[in-house]
């Protein structure tokens, strides 16, 4: 859903391959930029989660999501990072699998990290997680995209359909962190879920951890044969000159 109250929507997310998308990890004022997409079934609390993280508030009244992009700054290990959070429309499930439209796929491709949300009050929203995780991985083939699984609406235990323990098991099977949260009742858990994700992306973005850089630092540079040759010739020329001087 989309937030009814007036909030800073900075832009539509750029199409993959556009100049804006290509600027990748540098945001305004040269700050490093972390781009996060929040995905999941309809009504699980994606907008509520994003709004809680950005404003600390739970408003509880939203209109259907139109795919808004929001921004905020966070401090990660002493560094101020710009974070863009993309709220997405709820994913529908059809008989032959997930129904992910191109808008959603573009958003997933654009992201450096993904928050996958389900609600403990909606078993169907839990059932689509594995497929959704697989879909995200297919859109980021060849990279290990940081992801976190969030089980929302933990305050509604009396109508729960999914045991949070199942969420934990699924997260460890998928290789991502797991947070059980109540967006309506607790800010800290929401903050922690985003914080852990930002930290992971931030570490991934560090130049020292890029494979290219690591490779160059591991393989010793061969000495240039030309340089050695030059040195040898220089020494020869020098000793010849010394000989000429002494003979005079
Ligand atoms: N009790 C409770 N209600 C919540 C919680 N989080 C969200 N809600 C409510 O769940 C409903 C759906 O929340 P949204 O944030 O609009 O869900 P969404 O995933 O963005 O929905 P779509 O836009 O349809 O995809 C709203 O009425 C929220 O107030 C929660 O932690 N506890």
Most distant CA pair in the chain, distance: 107
List, as one string, the DSSP characters of 37-104: EEEEBTTSSHHHHHHHHHHS-----EE-----EEEEEEEETTEEEEEEEEE-PPBEEETTEEE--HHH
Does the structure show a pLDDT above 60 at 24? no
pLDDT score of 100 more than 60: yes
The protein residue whose alpha carbon is closest to atom 8 in ligand 1 is: 45
Position 52 scores a pLDDT of 94
89 close to ligand 1 (CB < 6 Angstrom): yes
Q: Tell me the per-residue pLDDT of 159-212, one tens digit each, with 9 for 90 and over.
A: 999 998 999 999 999 999 999 999 999 999 999 999 999 999 988 887 665 454
Stretch 214-230: mean pLDDT, rounded?
51
Interface ipTM: 0.99
Atom of ligand 1 nearest to the CA of 153: 31
Q: Which residues contact 83 (CB under 8 A, 6 or more apart)?
A: 33, 34, 35, 36, 71, 72, 73, 74, 194, 198
Contact 182 CB / ligand 1 (< 6 Å): yes
Q: Which residues contact 248 (CB under 8 A, 6 or more apart)?
A: none
In the chain, where the domains are located: 9-13+29-205
Tens of pLDDT, residue by residue over 28-53, are 566 789 999 999 999 999 999 999 99
Q: Does residue 32 have its Cβ closer than 6 Å to ligand 1?
A: no
Q: Is the pLDDT of residue 12 over 50?
A: no
- Please, what is the average pLDDT of the chain? 80
Q: Which atom of ligand 1 is nearest to the CA of 182?
A: 31
Q: How confident is the model at residue 74 (pLDDT cuts 50, 70, 90)?
A: confident
Overall fold of domain 9-13+29-205 = Rossmann fold (3.40.50)
């Amino acid at each position: 859903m989309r937030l009814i109250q007036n909030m800073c929507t900075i832009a539509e997310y750029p199409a993959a391959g556009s100049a804006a998308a290509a600027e990748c990890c540098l945001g305004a004022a040269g700050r490093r930029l972390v781009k996060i997409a929040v995905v999941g079934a309809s009504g699980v609390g994606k907008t509520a989660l994003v709004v809680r993280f950005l404003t600390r508030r739970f408003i509880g009244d939203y209109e259907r999501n139109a795919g808004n992009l929001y921004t905020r700054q966070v401090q990660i290990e002493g560094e101020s990072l710009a974070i863009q959070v993309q709220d997405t429309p709820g994913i529908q499930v059809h008989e032959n699998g997930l129904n992910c439209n191109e808008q959603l796929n573009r958003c997933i491709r654009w992201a450096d990290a993904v928050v996958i949300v389900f609600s403990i009050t909606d078993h169907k929203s839990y059932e689509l997680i594995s497929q959704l995780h697989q879909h995200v991985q297919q859109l980021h083939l060849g990279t290990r995209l940081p992801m976190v699984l969030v089980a929302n609406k933990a305050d509604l235990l009396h109508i729960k359909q999914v045991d949070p323990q199942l969420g934990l098991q699924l997260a460890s099977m998928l290789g991502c962190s797991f947070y059980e949260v109540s967006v309506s009742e607790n800010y800290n858990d929401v903050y922690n879920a985003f914080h852990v994700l930002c930290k992971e992306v931030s570490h991934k973005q560090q130049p020292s951890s890029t494979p290219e850089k690591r490779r160059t630092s591991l393989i010793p540079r061969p000495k240039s044969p030309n340089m050695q040759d030059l040195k040898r010739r220089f020494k020869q020329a020098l000793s010849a000159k010394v000989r000429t001087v002494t003979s005079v």
